[in-house]
A = this chain, B = another copy of it.
Amino acid sequence: MVRRNVNFTRLHPVYLFADIAKQKAAFLLKNPHAQLISLGIGDTTEPIVQTVDQKLVEKAQALGTMRGYSGYGPEQGDPLLREKIALAAGVKPEEVFVSDGSKCDIGRLQHLFGTGLKVAVQDPTYPAYVDNSIIGGSSEIIYLACQPENGFFPEIEKAPPFDLLYFCSPNNPTGAVATHAQLERLVKEVKCRGAILLFDAAYSRYIQDPTLPRSIFEIAGAREVAIELGSFSKIAGFTGVRLGWTIVPEELHYEEGGSVRADWQRIATTCFNGASNIAQAGGVAVLEPQGLQEVELQIAFYLENASLLKDAFEKSGFTVYGGGNAPYLWIHFPGRSSWEVFEELLEKAHIVTTPGVGFGPAGEGFVRVSPYGHRSHILEAIQRIGRFVNKSASMKN
């Protein structure tokens, strides 16, 4: 009989967000009239901006006409979209591979390197890096603590041996943004170890400070060691529309000397069949001047949500990291358990957050707060945070 992929037994039984959804559902069963506000999962809530939405509509309309219909596109993506992404990233179009999203690309990335790899991640980290690595047969996950004490940047030179390093900046969940100097250290160390850096830039357009790098390829030498993941999800509200990309530079090679880009092309054509043509038409519009202007306003809106929430938590006496050049807030509850704080916020303030420990052991004592809500909900959440603190304080007395 057919046996199970043995790697499944090494996974934590339930995926973090599914776990939270379950707790939320259980709470609502007991409190059917509670008006929950979700500051949990990083899911966009604002409508798609007008210029971009218009292109989605036009492409959908065109597919119903003899003249505008098209079937399979190139698996690597529409050439115009690849060109626009390449231009924005300062790479060559043939190094850009359009996909249905970064999470899906992380799944497919496992095929490139085979099994038995040591994979380093920031701790806390986006769980999909860890779970996909485990399913793909990595032999070890190395957690590099990113905490207030080290400015949320690991002592990379002292890290145990690793083959792959996932690094996300602006970071999910901590909201930390690596500086130019920090990324130089990272590239240098990865190169010196002969490892490969998988750089997740899904939130790069949230960077407002022009001195902070938006792409790993702004760092000298990165083209020989790094793959970069990009996404339209948090740029343009495409979380449900599904569109992302991966950049694999020509200079990236295996130990044996072969081109990683060539194998990624093979994976794109063999394990994938192109992103939805409607989504891709929208992606092109995002990267045209008018679309870009509109999505940048939307990003600024979410950053303002983050700023309002940050103020509220700070006024209530909490230490808050993130925001500013990143969407997420990372709120410290020293000495407490993340799940305990999560439950207290759910039960007393009817606010859903994400327990920091769900992102890795160094997330214990934190919760992640997401700014992806309607403004009215954010303002209501701020009221509740004030009341929650007073309630907690009076309970302690």
A contact set with B: CB distance below 8 Å: 1-8, 11, 15, 18, 41, 43-50, 53-54, 56-57, 59-61, 63-66, 68-73, 100-101, 103-104, 106-108, 111-115, 117, 128, 131-132, 135-137, 163-164, 194-196, 237, 239-242, 254-256, 258, 263, 266-267, 269-279, 372
List the number of copies, as a whole number. Answer: 2
> Residues of B contacting A254 with CB < 8 Å?
1-4
What is the bound-complex CA distance between A251 and B48, given in angstroms?
42
> Residues of B contacting A237 with CB < 8 Å?
63, 69, 71
What is the bound-complex CA distance between A25 and B246, given in angstroms?
27
> Residues of B contacting A15 with CB < 8 Å?
266, 269-270
Most buried by B among A7, A66, A100, A103: A100
Assess A100 versus B255: contact at CB under 8 Å? Given A2-B163, A15-B270, A266-B8.
no
Contact of A272 among B104, B137, B258, B269 (CB under 8 A): B104
Q: Is the CB of A44 within 8 A of B57?
A: no
What is the bound-complex CA distance between A65 and B57, given in angstroms?
13
Assess A108 versus B107: contact at CB under 8 Å? Given A47-B63, A254-B3, A279-B278.
yes
Among residues of B, the one whose C-beta sits closest to the C-beta of A13 is B266
Among residues of B, the one whose C-beta sits closest to the C-beta of A278 is B278
Q: Is the CB of A56 within 8 A of B278?
A: yes
Q: Is the CB of B11 within 8 A of A266?
A: yes
Assess A272 versus B103: contact at CB under 8 Å? Given A60-B278, A277-B240.
yes
> Residues of B contacting A69 with CB < 8 Å?
45-48, 237
Assess A240 versus B4: contact at CB under 8 Å? Given A107-B108, A270-B131.
no
How many whole Å from A21's CB to the nearest CB in chain B?
9
What is the bound-complex CA distance between A7 and B271, given in angstroms?
14
Q: Is the CB of B266 within 8 A of A107?
A: no
What is the bound-complex CA distance between A185 and B176, given in angstroms?
60
Most buried by B among A128, A266, A273, A275: A273
> Residues of B contacting A164 with CB < 8 Å?
2
> Residues of B contacting A372 with CB < 8 Å?
71
- A-B contacts, 16 of them at CB < 8 A, read A1-B195, A2-B117, A2-B194, A3-B114, A4-B254, A4-B256, A7-B114, A15-B269, A54-B64, A69-B237, A101-B273, A103-B271, A135-B271, A242-B276, A242-B277, A276-B278
